Structure 1
Amino acid sequence: MIFYLARQPIFNTKKVLYAYELLFRDGFDNAFPAIDSDEATQRLIENSEFSSGIEALTGNSKAFINFTEESICSGLPELLPKRSVVVELLETIRPTDEVFAAVKSLKEKGYTVALDDFEFSPQWARFLPYIDIIKMDFRLLSITQIKQQMSAHKGFKGDYLAEKVEDYNEFSEALKLGFIYFQGYFFARPEIIQRRSLSASQKVYMELLEKVTAEDYNPDEIAAIVERDTGVSYKLLRFVNSAFFARQSDITSLKQAVVRLGQQEIRKFVAIIATASLGESKPNELTRLSIARARFCEQLAQTDHRYGAEPGTAFLSGLLSKLDALMDDELEHLLNHIHAGNSIRSALLSKKGAIAFFLSTAESIERVNWDSITRAANKLKLPEKDLIDMYQKASSWAASVQN
């Protein structure tokens, strides 16, 4: 499933990017859809933070996100990382005691809070010490009215953001008035972005994938996630009881499975099921190809120690090499989202190192590029026949673990 959003940049006085405002959309029409504001906020958060991650959408800049009265009072902003978000209170919010308590709590927890399209009234006076940014609409208010509003904001120590600035004269006026941030068509129109939305189960698998690709691998964290998902637990027991491992006795508990498999195999198991789940809407061949590459790279790392490639990292790199095709997103965004380690990033993004060479060898075999296969075989000091046979065995292995 594809979700859409618009993002509009926000700049500082030097016209340097400060943040983006994220706006929910339901297609390529760059207009707010005909849905309830609460639903729009919820869907924006679900599809951005819990699918691709807000930081992947903003390039690690802050994201201004609109919140309604109900979403503020229900604690919805706290689902988002405080370092990444500016909690923007819509102009329709009433200055009630409940809203005041929620805003104060957010500020005390370290969130940045902004008021959207703000026009001062005495009921808002107690809020001002807890507000970081006030946005003022240059289409709704004249310069005289804006000056009056700013004079009325006694007790406000934060910054002003000029919204809907459409030409240089308005930008110049805003600078003279003391505005620090600027947003509007003078700088850039909202840009439509589309991303793939994840199901609830796929989000679990993304979390697992993050844990196994991180260089500070922690098996206890992985076990805790597996334990809370019945489907993953069942697949783990099937995996460890398969003919692959030729156990003398069946494994009957999750704890026993984790102990028996050990770190390397648990890491492999999690990576395989996560990749398969994330590619469930794609052709099976794409998942099989990812697993075949993983096994092939792992075998090369085990066979040829001259390159110093760690087999587990080689396996994970091969498995993630088609993640962009499985997820319909840029590979760099996805690797940032799962916090993949430097060794994997180097192999997949920079195309450097032994693992990158192993992957290019796999691609040459897949494309039946005999010149490249010959060069790779010579470099690996293997007969071409053995190299191709190794890939074919990896492909058979991939087919067996998918069943």
Structure 2
Amino acid sequence: MNARAPSPSPIDDQPASLSKEATPESVYLGRQPIVDRNGALNAFELLFRSDATNLARVTDDADATAQVLARLVGDMGLSAALGDHTGYLNVDRTVLMSDMVRQLPLPPERFVLEILETVTFDEALFRRCNELRRAGFRLALDDVSQVSPRLLAFLPCVDIVKIDFMECPRERLAELVAAVRQHRKVSLAEKVETRGDHDAAMRAGFELFQGYHFAKPQVLTSRRITPSRDALLRLMVLLSGEPGILELEAELKRIPNLVVQLLRLLQSSASGLARTISSMREAIMVVGTRQITRWAQLLLFADGNLDALRSDPLSQLCGTRARFMELASGRLRPDDVWFADTAFMTGVFSLIHVLFGSAIEDILSTMPIHADMRRALLERQGDLGLLLNAAEAAESGELTAIRTACNALPVFTPNDLIVLGLTAVG
């Protein structure tokens, strides 16, 4: 975990829980590069940020980790935050001993769990560390500054040792690196602030490097995609009763923002996808109710100040459009359940660029959606594209636009679209 520079700085790299002053419409995630001896990017350490000014306030380490995971899994997505690189996550004892990280759909080989300096070593923690390593995670020990009993106790169950360059005397660096190398662990020099620090770290034999000499943390920003607390509680209650796929699908359809996050969850899945997804039913079956339950719990824990979904005009529009397309699809292709499901999801994703504040092309490139949906959203092609045009025409209330939509879909009259629009709102 990279800390402050020697002089006062507006940057604080410690993990933090949610600031009460954070902008509710956006979420932030800090990331700082970790490079190898050749200067090539090796990984990013992921850091909680309360706002775009790159400030963080530490109050609860477990809460901070949950915040970072919620943003990574739900709001931003793994690809946007890390690309193809590894991510370092700060974890305290509470997180290490819980299922928070292990039960989420995060590919273990992509993450290093960075054990904070506040964690004490004992037999239970030793067993847990070994369980996590067997599951595929790598572990790093943070803020080491000397060869100590704590370091020697942790060395057998970690893979990387982060040595604090500001705290470790220069004459002890070689001893520390030698102790790490003797146990066949990777040495990482953190808080490398100057060219002189880097030169000394290179001479001491460090393998990885992190600090202001290379880069300060970058703040990634994304539109907050959060369902209401009531909606999450309702979903969790439903999940606790082992619902069937159809029942769970019906509940998710009531909360369009959750559909967006479900696809983010799916895109971050460790198992990957051998096929595209065209309905919520497929997404639920691929992710599984257990993963959805864990995800809902994390979202509830990470966002305790959520506004009611009904008060968000954009969410209301998203739900109305998705419902309109589902209703209209039944008129266009009666008894075609797959088409109705796909139409609903197309309605949700037609506003995804507004939710995330990005070009729709960029966002859809990271989403495992069906080709028919992609053509509808990007080119307005096929029946789904025509239904999307009809939905927008009905929303506008402009008779010319409604008639144009009906000309492309002769099964509908202008009155049909107006009635469907009113029904979808209700």
Residue 43 of structure 1 is aligned with which of 60, 64, 67?
Answer: 67
User: Who is 2:49 aligned against?
Assistant: 25
> 2:8: which partner in 1?
none
The whole-number CA distance in structure 2 between the counterparts of 1:24 and 1:69 is 18
Q: 1:202 to 1:69 in 2, by over 3 A?
A: closer
SS in 2 for 1:185: coil
Aligned length in residues: 341
Between the aligned partners of 1:136 and 1:360, the Cα distance in structure 2 is 56
For 2:368, the equivalent position in structure 1 comes to 339
Equivalence map 1:144-159=2 (5 Å): 144-153=171-180, 155-159=182-186
1:77 corresponds to: 101
Distance 1:150 1:162 in 2: 10
Write the mapping of 1:2-17 to structure 2, written as runs, cut at 5 A. 2-17=26-41
| Structural mapping, 1:97-116, within 5 Å | 97-116=123-142
Q: Does 1:221 align with 2:250?
A: no
Aligned-partner Cα distance in 2 for 1:319–1:76: 29
After superposition, the C-alpha distances for 1:153-179 in whole angstroms (9 at most, x for unaligned) are 364213222222233443344344333
- 1:281 maps to amino acid: D
Q: CA deviation at 1:23?
A: 1.4
> What TM-score, normalized to structure 1?
0.66
Aligned residue type for 2:349: L
The aligned counterpart of 2:86 is: 62
Q: Is the partner of 2:52 in helix, strand or coil? A: coil
Cross-structure match for 1:90:
116
Q: Matches of 2:384 and 2:39 in 1, distance apart?
A: 39
| 28 and 193 in structure 1: CA distance in 2 versus 1, 3 angstrom threshold | same
- Per-residue CA distance 1:53-96 (angstroms, 9 max, x = gap): 44443235322111112322334432342234210001222222
Kindly indicate which of the two structures has a greater share of residues assigned to helix. Answer: 1
Report the CA distance shift for 1:370/1:183 in structure 2 as closer, same or farther (over 3 A).
farther
Aligned to 1:133: 160
Q: CA 1:34–1:151 in 2, change beyond 3 Å: closer, same or farther?
A: closer
CA gap 1:143/1:333 in 2 versus in 1, 3 angstroms: farther
Q: 1:316 to 1:391 in 2, by over 3 A?
A: farther
Structure 1 contact 131–156 (Cα < 8 Å) conserved: no
Match of 2:349 among 316, 320, 323: 320
Q: Does 1:198 align with 2:246?
A: no
In 2, Cα distance between equivalents of 1:389 and 1:65: 53
- Distance in 2 (CA, whole Å) between partners of 1:370 and 1:15 is 61
2:207 paired with 1:143: no
What per-residue deviation string (whole Å, max 9, x for no partner) do you get for residues 19-62 of structure 1? 22111232334233041323322333344335544444323532
Distance 1:64-1:311 versus aligned 2 partners, 3 A rule: same
**1:330 CA displacement:** 6.5
Matched, 1:179 2:206: yes
2:416 to 386, 389, 393: 393
Q: Residues of 2 paired with 1:364 and 1:387: CA distance? A: 17
Q: Distance in 2 between matches of 1:78 and 1:121?
A: 29
Q: CA 1:331–1:186 in structure 2 vs 1: closer, same or farther (change >3 Å)?
A: farther
Structure 1, gaps ≥5 residues long:
230-276, 304-309
Residues 1:162 and 2:192 are matched in the alignment: no
> 1:159–1:330: structure 2 CA closer, same or farther, 3 Å change rule?
farther
Aligned twin of 2:305? none
* Structure 1 letter corresponding to 2:217: P
The 8 Å contact of residues 55 and 84 in structure 1, kept in 2 or not, is answered as no
SS in structure 1 at match of 2:51: coil
Does the C-alpha gap of structure 1 residues 319 and 153 become closer, same or farther in structure 2, counting only changes over 3 Å?
closer
**Equivalent in 277, 281, 285 of residue 312 of structure 2:** 281
Calculate percent identity across the aligned residue pairs.
24
Give, in whole Å, the separation in 2 of the partners of 1:176 and 1:347.
58
Q: Which structure 2 residue ranges, 5 or more long, are not aligned?
A: 1-23, 236-251, 253-257, 267-275, 294-307
Provide the secondary structure at the position in 2 that maps to 1:78: coil
Q: Any conservation in 2 of the 1:54–1:63 contact (CA below 8 Å)?
A: no
- Report the 3-state secondary structure (helix = DSSP H, G, I; strand = E; otherwise coil) of the residue aligned with 2:313: coil
In the alignment, is the contact (CA less than 8 A) between 1:125 and 1:153 conserved in 2?
A: no
**Equivalents in 1 of 2:73, 2:262: separation in Å?**
16
Distance 1:30 1:95, change over 3 A: same
Q: Deviation per CA, 1:210-240: give whole Å up to 9, x if none.
A: 48x8148649839x859x99xxxxxxxxxxx
Contact 1:52 1:334 in 2 (8 A): no
The amino acid that maps onto 1:97 is: E
Q: Which residue of 1 aligns with 2:151?
A: 124
Q: Which stretch has the larger CA shift, 41-50 or 135-144?
A: 41-50
Instruction: Say if 2:34 and 2:44, in contact at 8 Å, map to a contact too.
Output: yes
Structure 1 401/94 Cα, relative in aligned 2: closer, same or farther at 3 Å? same
Pair 28,346 (structure 1): closer, same or farther in 2 beyond 3 Å: same
- Output the TM-score relative to the length of structure 2: 0.63
